[in-house]
Amino acid sequence: GPSYNIIPEPVRIEQKQGMTQNLRFDIKNAKLDPSLGAEGYALDITPQGISIRYADKRGLENAKITILQLEDQLGASPAGIPCGTITDKPAYAWRGMMCDVARSFMPLEDLKKFVDVMHFYKFNVLHLHLTDDQGWRFPVPGYDRLKTVASTRGPGDGGGPGWMPASSGMYTAQELKDLVAYCKARGIDVVPEIDVPGHNQALCEAYPELFCQNPSADKVEAFKQTQAYTSKNDAQKQELLTAPQDVKTRRSGGVSYHLLCPQSKEMWKFYEAAVKQLADIFPGKIIHLGGDEAPAERWELCAACTEARKAKGQKNTNEEMRGFFKDMTSLLAKYGKEAQFWFELEDDFYQKGQTVYTWRLGKTPATVNATKKAGLKLVLTPGEHCYLDYPQLPGHSNRGWMPMVTLEKCYQLDPTQGKPADQVDHIVGVHCTLWAEQLPTLEHTLYRAYPRAMAVAEKGWSPKSAWSWERFQQKMEAHKKPFEKRFGYTLERTMDNEPAVKP
Ligand code: NAG
């Protein structure tokens, strides 16, 4: 029968005779044992207390978390919990959560609370989405308008879908270094993201010269005759032809047409300074470059881009995108960093060996195959299971368009994709997103993040043989009370206890 209420479920549990009320351990007696495998640990739970073996620094952290969860269980059953041994290590090396501090700024203290909870479920990557249309959140020396212009956003237009409370704020470099240290102490890596070449209206308001400039009147007239233009609605038509000098930090969700101009020297100078700054703050190897949702109409229209495509023999804007990603990747390499991207299925934008994320609804099976063929590594963030900004209970707001992602739907994530191991050996792990257009505070974010992230955590950690939806639900129920005590935050999700989005 059920023994330990541990999420994610350990690889192996051997129950022994007897019960214990004694979960004490002496960290000085913990034994290093690399044979347990990366991040692995083993616990011997006896009436005399617990002894620990661990494979590495993270393994020791994981052992401590498991013991905390056992303490919670003992708290609920004072007669004792069963004796036994636990031998454990993660199925996947990458278990991440993305926090979108660009759409809604989150003060450092709140970010640390977000980290505390993800740590409790053995996530090991914090992905910070630091820039987007709605805000720029870290300083770059010499570019003061990032703070005075790009880090401030007014409230969204009107109520209903697309409406967002105002949000302003920028971290100092020192605050971000504090966060990195806080995460490091808990075995968590931090991956910063700067989204290029789209998703950048905040930057555009501050520094319009980094973006494609308006095309000539002739070109605009000709463009107006094309299907690409006539098929758009009036608002889209207007946005598309707005001069970068008139673009404002975006106050709704959606996709911006304004792209960085790969032909702008100032643009490369700016990103060199930005990458240098990120390299100074974040010791990890990775910088996520976004790369999602960058409609290419303005590259098509831009005189400088058109000329450059011709000169370089690029047949179209897809080839231009590939070239741009390659140049950005080289810029990162100068600072010892590797690029990651949100995968856009339609096109072959990436360099062999790079890591991309599958995210688009319905696209994951095809993406798994395409990335395997292209020699890419893959992080699983399918919208159907891992987009935790989506509603979790029928009756919760879907913001006008979002699909329902119930806890059970999250638990249905299968990182093996039901395929033979050699077809999915490029999958490095699982990742949740908390896009924050409609998540203005930590409270809103945690409400949507949990308990669903616990399901994703189990799928990233536990082997298939240890998965059980029935058991998972029981364990989640058992976590509710102690979770509230630990984090001062409820795991109850009802029809009407979601915090409202207020101005
Ligand atoms: C996606 C956008 C994201 C947005 C989210 C809302 C990606 C890679 N891009 O379309 O900017 O916040 O939807 O769920 O997810």
The residue to mutate among 435, 439, 445, having the most atoms of ligand 1 within 8 angstroms of its beta carbon, is 435
Nearest CA to ligand 1 atom 4: 435
379 has which bridge partners? 357, 429
- Is the Cβ atom of 121 under 6 angstroms away from ligand 1? no
Last residue of some domain: 88, 115, 140? Answer: 88
498 found inside a domain: no
Last residue of some domain: 72, 88, 104? Answer: 88
Q: Which of 486, 251, 267 is nearest to 259 (CA)?
A: 267
66 found inside a domain: yes
CA distance 478 to 484: 11
Nearest CA to ligand 1 atom 14: 435
Say whether 132 is catalytic.
yes
pLDDT in tens, 447-468: 999 999 999 999 999 999 999 9
The residue to mutate among 292, 380, 389, having the most atoms of ligand 1 within 8 angstroms of its beta carbon, is 292
Instruction: Give me the count of residues in the chain.
Output: 503
Last residue of some domain: 62, 88, 114? Answer: 88
Number of domains observed in the structure of the chain = 2
Which residue ranges of the chain lie beneath pLDDT 70?
1-2, 158-162, 345-347, 503
Looking at the structure, tell me whether residues 19 and 128 fall in a common domain.
no
| Encoded tokens for 90 | 């993660």
- Is the Cβ atom of 359 under 6 angstroms away from ligand 1? yes
Beta-sheet strands, E only, within 241-299: 286-290
Beta-sheet strands, E only, within 91-241: 94-99, 125-129, 131-132, 135-136, 152-153, 167-168, 189-196
Nearest CA to ligand 1 atom 15: 359
496 found inside a domain: no
CA of 435 to the centre of ligand 1 (A): 7
Q: Which one-letter amino acid corresponds to residue 57? A: K
Looking at the structure, tell me whether residues 59 and 196 fall in a common domain.
no
- Is the Cβ atom of 387 under 6 angstroms away from ligand 1? yes
439 found inside a domain: yes
- Residue 26 pLDDT: 96
CA of 484 to the centre of ligand 1 (A): 30
- Residue 158 pLDDT: 61
Looking at the structure, tell me whether residues 206 and 177 fall in a common domain.
yes
CA of 133 to the centre of ligand 1 (A): 11
Nearest CA to ligand 1 atom 12: 435
The catalytic residue among 33, 293, 338, 347 is 293
Residue 434: CA atoms inside 13 Å, Cβ hemisphere, count?
Answer: 30
Which residue in the block uniquely carries the two structure tokens 């390299």? 279
CA of 383 to the centre of ligand 1 (A): 9
- Is the Cβ atom of 44 under 6 angstroms away from ligand 1? no
- Residue 157 pLDDT: 72
- How many helices (H) and strands (E) are present in the chain, helices listed first? 18, 17
Angle between helices 108-120 and 173-185 (to 10 degrees): 20
Say whether 199 is catalytic.
yes
Which residue in the block uniquely carries the two structure tokens 């470059």? 289
Looking at the structure, tell me whether residues 435 and 481 fall in a common domain.
yes
- Is the Cβ atom of 437 under 6 angstroms away from ligand 1? yes
The catalytic residue among 132, 205, 320, 458 is 132
2 found inside a domain: no
The catalytic residue among 119, 127, 199, 396 is 199
- Residue 141 pLDDT: 98
Looking at the structure, tell me whether residues 268 and 340 fall in a common domain.
yes
Looking at the structure, tell me whether residues 458 and 359 fall in a common domain.
yes
- Residue 2 pLDDT: 64
CA distance 208 to 136: 14
501 found inside a domain: no
Looking at the structure, tell me whether residues 196 and 84 fall in a common domain.
no
Say whether 293 is catalytic.
yes
Q: What's the ipTM?
A: 0.98
Looking at the structure, tell me whether residues 78 and 106 fall in a common domain.
no
CA of 72 to the centre of ligand 1 (A): 36
Looking at the structure, tell me whether residues 104 and 57 fall in a common domain.
no
CATH number (domain holding residue 52):
3.30.379.10
- Residue 358 pLDDT: 98
CA of 432 to the centre of ligand 1 (A): 12
Looking at the structure, tell me whether residues 400 and 331 fall in a common domain.
yes
Nearest CA to ligand 1 atom 13: 435
495 found inside a domain: no
- Residue 503 pLDDT: 60
CA of 421 to the centre of ligand 1 (A): 30
Looking at the structure, tell me whether residues 32 and 110 fall in a common domain.
no
1 found inside a domain: no
- Is the Cβ atom of 252 under 6 angstroms away from ligand 1? no
Ligand 1 atom closest to 357 (CA): 8
CA of 12 to the centre of ligand 1 (A): 37
The residue to mutate among 195, 293, 405, having the most atoms of ligand 1 within 8 angstroms of its beta carbon, is 293
Ligand 1 atom closest to 436 (CA): 12
- Is the Cβ atom of 435 under 6 angstroms away from ligand 1? yes
Nearest CA to ligand 1 atom 11: 435
Show the domain range for 73: 12-88
Looking at the structure, tell me whether residues 39 and 150 fall in a common domain.
no
Q: Which one-letter amino acid corresponds to residue 214? A: N
Around Cβ 376, how many Cβ atoms within 10 Å?
Answer: 19
